[in-house]
Chain A
Amino acid sequence: MTTDAPVLAKPASRRPSWIRRHSPPYWLSLIGGGWMLAFFLIPLVSGLIVSLETGNPLTGYHLTWNWAIYQQLFVHSDIPYTTFFLRSLYYGAATTVLSIVISYPMAYYIAFKVKERWKSPLLFLVLLSFFVSFVIRTDMWAFILSNQGIVITALRDLHLVGKNFHILGTSNAVIGGDVYNNLAFMVLPIYVALERIDGRILEAARDLYSNGRQVFLRVVLPLSRAGIFAGVLLVFITTVGDPVVSSLLGGVGTYTIGQAIQDSYLTNQQFNVAAALSTALMVVLGLIMFIYAKVFGTQNIENLV
């Protein structure tokens, strides 16, 4: 038995106020909040305001609350912005679907089939293309796939394709480039989701009369839903607004809303048009993502799969 008398608890000097006790999380979010305010909310509002200005590059632009611009751009417009819009959404959707189809087996393989020590090197390989500038590596594809490039020359020499066959300038080239550029954004979140699945849960599924296909459909796929969800957000949003891939790998028939925004802003200096297009793009993307999250973000995905 110890002879030490129990040490009396020191009376608390003064109870800190409610605000003091509960404020740290808010203090910690200050930098992030400030960042969002400065670089997201302010441009958002100013973008909307700029879109409502009228004028021309010579005389300058003035705010006239010209809401009609949205109608002018998308209804009976000389320039088919609606087409560009739909085309971009199509490219985005096709890229997203293709990315999932290609990335899921990759992520699955790295997460479940590879020895522990090979995981990091393989993930590094997935990220390796990011070490080269986005524009350069896309342009390299333009070089490889050009009509005098190795791919088409080889195909033509083997008489697998006709004389007039080309890849560059087609929608497929743009979608292919988008998939290539965004693959890591799909692989990584799916990998993280798969990696977190406890192997014993898969054994439990097999124990409960599931064959390989059922284990995948009933357990692995639902449990990696969050990863697919994150990947879809990342890939779809970046693809829809991107002007670079379609301008480097595409042609006249692949003009996207991203290019339209870029050209109206930089080339034509129609700031109001550029701002209106980008605001519209933002609203449309926001709506699509909202609906998507509502449908696929629910708990009972098993009922849908």
Chain B
Amino acid sequence: MASKLGEGGRATESSLAAAAVRLEHVTKKYKSMVAVDDLSLELAPGEFFALLGPSGCGKTTTLRMVGGFDQPTSGRIFLGGDDITWTPPYRRDVNTVFQSYALFPHLSVFDNVAFGLRRKGTDKREVSQLVEEHLELLGLGGFGPRPATQLSGGQQQRVALARALVNRPRVLLLDEPMGALDAKIRKSMQLELKRIQREVGITFLYVTHDQDEAMALGDRLAVMHGGRYEDLGEPQRVYDQPATQFVAEFLGACNLLAVNPDHDRLCLPDGSVIGARLGTMASTPSLIRQVGVRPEKMQLRRVDHSDATSPSSATNRVNATVDSVVYLGATSEYELTSSWGGHLHVVAQNIDDADRLRPGDHVTASWHVEHGFALPADNATVTPVEEPTREAKEASRVN
């Protein structure tokens, strides 16, 4: 990437045309605060990309810079190969769905949706045809003459989507568009958004703090923290093999086992050796400080049960005692104390009543080596590397 940067200008355009949006070392500073810190991102055409992170992580600032509402302090932004860093918003082929919808309160639904087309000087007949088409696409047929402010939250959100999509932008920016919707509408809207995105084939850049939403919608997602992303990839990969502790914990519950690397082997505090998959940041055994395991990936068995399966190198085992059980219908949540006094959290499906454990039971918690992910020290300052290739991922396993 650095060499491409060095060449600069138009010479590289043809080779970069593939990316719908590209951010090159983008930094945004507000007085003393760094909102976005040397961020480089690339969105493929037609991709649904989710930018995920807690509030203040810089995700909205990133979106606003792509939209043109904020200018980066340094770095460049490309839209399909064109440098748009300093292009004003009204000349960018990008449209935004705002968190609060920001519909024009003085206009009808039709006029709201037609707003962009009219500013572009689209032919009158084409305007009304396109607007009706998009109202139909979003299930708003017949709503055209209504005042925009008299619709429900869900309907207003659809109008906001139609208003942006009707312009056929090269990239659609969505700033927490579901933030103001209640949970039920949100679920159905997610499905619909995914359908619409497939139908129109426009690149979506979707900003959210809701990890379920990001995983459900995104073809890829980036988890942002402190102005940069800590991990980027397909949702399943990022969930199963997060690069850092922050990413692991942001995407869901997670057990963290402190380990000591000892000659390419990972030792738990009680001395037993476990295996884990190398991460993008804990890429060599010496960097590994912790191993993470998702609670649903652990299996619990009573110790007194005669164990049919013999221990294998593909399975990690830990002895533990059950502290408490919370029954949740479909699943049960167990809190355990491991043999060295550590704390474990396990979620198990309630399949067989006989398998259910009670506080005080001695158990072995086991999980597949593949399900343990290596994490670096919490305050690691290593720059995240690009998504490794599939082969590299297969290869990066230690036992």
Contact A209 B96 (CB under 8 A): no
- Is A200 engaged at the interface, CB distance under 8 Å to the other chain? yes
When distances are taken between beta carbons in the complex, the residues of chain A under 8 Å from B54 are none
Chain A positions 194-214 with a Cβ under 8 Å from a chain B Cβ: 198, 200-201, 203-211, 214
Docked complex: B80-138 residues within 8 A CB-CB of A: 88-91, 94-96, 98-100, 102-107, 111, 115-116, 119-120
Q: With a 10 A CB-CB cut-off, give which of A200, A210, A225, A299 has the most chain B CB atoms.
A: A200
Q: Nearest chain B CB to A229's CB is how many angstroms away?
A: 13
Q: Which A residues from 7 to 41 make CB contacts under 8 A with B?
A: none
The answer for the CA separation of A144 and B104 in the assembled complex, in Å, is 47
Instruction: Determine whether A161 belongs to the interface, using a CB cutoff of 8 Å to chain B.
Output: no
Cα distance A203–B164 in the bound complex, in angstroms: 13
Number of residues from A at the complex interface, CB < 8 A: 21
For the complex, give the distance between the alpha carbons of A223 and B104 in Å: 9
Q: Which A168-217 residues have a C-beta within 8 angstroms of B?
A: 198, 200-201, 203-211, 214
Which of these, A200, A214, A218, contacts B100 with CB under 8 Å? A200
Please report which residues of chain B, range 26-78, place their CB below 8 angstroms from some CB of chain A when the two chains form the complex: 67-69
Residues of B within 8 A of A263 (CB): none
B98, A204: Cβ atoms under 8 Å?
A: yes
| Pair B90/A209 contact, Cβ less than 8 Å | yes
Answer whether residue A219 sits at the interface, using C-beta atoms and an 8 A cutoff. Answer: yes
Q: How far is the CA of A301 from the CA of B105 in the complex (A)?
A: 13
Q: Compute the total of residue contacts between A and B using a CB distance below 8 Å.
A: 72
Number of interface residues of B (CB under 8 A): 28
Question: Could you say which of B89, B91, B96 has the most chain A C-beta atoms within 10 Å of its C-beta?
Answer: B89
Are A207 and B95 in contact, with the CB atoms below 8 A? yes
Chain A contacts for B102, CB-based, 8 A: 198, 200-201, 203-204
- Min CB–CB distance B188 → chain A (angstroms): 25
Q: Does B167 contact A (CB under 8 A)?
A: yes
With an 8 A cutoff between CB atoms, is B163 at the interface? yes
Can you give 8 contacting A-B residue pairs, CB < 8 Å?
A: A198-B100, A201-B103, A204-B102, A206-B90, A207-B90, A209-B116, A209-B167, A302-B111
Residues of A within 8 A of B (CB): 198, 200-201, 203-211, 214, 218-219, 222-223, 225, 299, 301-302
The chain B residues found within 8 Å of chain A, CB to CB, are 67-69, 88-91, 94-96, 98-100, 102-107, 111, 115-116, 119-120, 147, 163-164, 167
The 5 closest A-B pairs by CB, nearest first: A208-B116, A209-B119, A200-B102, A204-B102, A206-B89
Q: Could you list 6 further interchain pairs (A-B, Cβ under 8 angstroms) beyond the known A204-B98, A206-B69, A209-B90?
A: A207-B95, A207-B96, A208-B115, A210-B119, A299-B147, A302-B111
